[in-house]
Amino acid sequence: MRTANSRRRRTLTLFLSVFIALLGIGCEAAALDIRRPDVREFIDAVAKQDSFDRRRLRKLLRVAQTQPAIIEAMDKPAEKAKPWYDYQPIFVNEKRIQEGADFWLAHRTELDQASLQTGVPAEYLVAILGVETLYGRRTGHYRVLDALSTLAFDYPARAKFFQGELEQFFLLTREAAIDPLTAIGSYAGAMGAPQFMPSNYRRYAVDADHDGHVDLWTNWPDVFASIGNYFKEHGWNSGEPVLSEAALESDAAPTLDGRKLTLSDTVGTLRARGIRFDTTLPINAPALLIAVDQADGVHWRVGFENFYVITRYNHSALYGMAVYELAAALKARAPS
């Protein structure tokens, strides 16, 4: 009996060891199988639509590595996992403010030029860089090819979007002479200091110094002008406010949400619903109510059209508020 029990225990131990090993294999990067039907369909479509050589596409995708860590990161973004009182200190703190003020001083001339050309205040150009990449120092550590291939073919929830971005990446590398095998970016495939996705790189990036090449990794005039152009093309209104603190009339709170990132209200409709806030904008100006989770309960803010423009960079009210607060702190700290 003891021998039989020992044999069963050894068998169970062996089974568990094999199972754990298999789990470990599943967490490692693996080469993309270009024989998969969805990959083959993608290659055929890009080759036909964009006059890409099929052999080159197959060669590039054959060396792409599927990264399980990328999928894990996609499922746990800070914008969804953290309340505002935990999210805000990550991006609005003394270190990031002082480094941003120093960065602003070091690039003052280029920032002023980009601000003048686009109508976007310099503090917002700097704040975007502060939130996105710590002023260009953290631009990601994944190959863009690997990130986009992983999400295009092994992340069903957004496969169509990322297949489109992978196509845009191939077009970008062809147009801008970027090496598709060495370009590095975020886990989502965003590139350079401002973290532009490939489609945004092609659509909004600006050759500010007119050297015939757009470089969003190391060319600061290009970086600043491209962020400003992105805001301008998404509807930034020069000179208008971004955000206002708000208070509610006592009987208004039960009927309010503040969790929808849409410009479905106006200054006038929000005030008619018992929301009090200061602004010089007219009553028909678009606006949205924002519920802000603080440690002592829910507070309220009202975002205007320029706030909504910031959230086109990252579709999150938390992100928009972090950029707004960092920009305000930078403006107060930076030399006049």
CA angle 321, 260, 191 (to 5 degrees): 55
Tokens of 197: 């996705």
Beta bridge partners, 291, equal 300
- How far apart CA 247 and CA 101 sit, in angstroms, is 32
Report how far residue 282's alpha carbon sits from residue 241's, in angstroms, rounded to the nearest whole number: 12
Quick one: pLDDT at residue 306? 98
Task: List the end-to-end C-alpha distance of the chain, in Å, as a whole number.
Answer: 86
Q: Is the dihedral of CA 324, 328, 330, 336 positive or negative?
A: positive
What span, in angstroms and rounded, lies between the C-alpha atoms of 302 and 246?
6
Q: What is the DSSP letter of 191?
A: B
Strands 275-277 and 243-248: antiparallel
The residues, ordered by sequence, that sit 6+ positions from 17 with a Cβ below 8 Å of its Cβ are: none
- According to DSSP, the residues that pair with 277 across neighbouring strands are 246
Instruction: Tell me the DSSP string of 265-289.
Output: EEHHHHHHTTEEE---S-TTSEEEE
Q: What is the Rg, in whole angstroms, of the alpha carbon atoms belonging to the chain?
A: 24
Residue 211 backbone phi and psi in degrees, to 5: -95, 5
Q: Which residues of the chain have pLDDT under 70?
A: 1-27, 78-79, 252-254, 335-336
d(CA 190, CA 178): 14
Report if pTM > 0.85: yes
Active site residues: 132
Query: Are the C-beta atoms of residues 283 and 213 closer than 8 Å to each other?
Result: no
Instruction: Give the Cα separation of 265 and 284 in Å (integer).
Output: 9
Q: What is the pLDDT of residue 196?
A: 98
Give DSSP secondary structure letters for 49-66. HH---HHHHHHHHHT-EE
Contact criterion met (CB below 8 Å) for 316 and 260: no
Give residue 254's pLDDT. 67
Of residues 193, 217, 141, 203, the one with CA closest to residue 172: 203
The pLDDT value recorded for residue 236 is 98
Element (H, E) at 198: helix 198-204
Strand partners, 275: 248
Task: Find, among 129, 101, 140, the residue nearest to 322 by Cα.
Answer: 129
User: Which of these, 328, 260, 314, 294, lies nearest to 82 by C-alpha position?
Assistant: 294
Largest CA distance in the chain: 87
